[in-house]
Amino acid sequence: MGLVASAGKNNDELVDNLVKHDSIKNERVERIMRLVDRGKFMPENAVEENAYKDSAWKSDLGLPVFLHISAPCIYANVFLL
């Protein structure tokens, strides 16, 4: 869970790596993960370094709000429920 080995340069590479490491276990979840680009939910200054890693991310600025995004592998497992 949260393996740096599951990092990518973009959303498709991240999903490819999650499939390769068996974090994504079915085609429906893979399709959902490809459609929802994680980088769109982060401030621009955090995207390049953080958006496409299989790890949680937290904004500590608090402006306008604190933001926490779970690791993509967590979402992949939740989608299975």
43-59 b/e (C-beta count within 10 Å ≥ 16 → b): eeebeeebbbbbbebeb
Q: How many domains does the chain have?
A: 1
Q: Has 23 been annotated as catalytic?
A: no
Q: Which has more confidence, 39 or 4? A: 39
Q: Tell me the residue range of the domain where 51 lies.
A: 4-79
Backbone φ, ψ for residue 67 (5° rounding): -135, 135
pLDDT per position as a tens digit, 10-56: 999 999 999 999 999 999 999 999 999 999 998 888 888 899 999 99
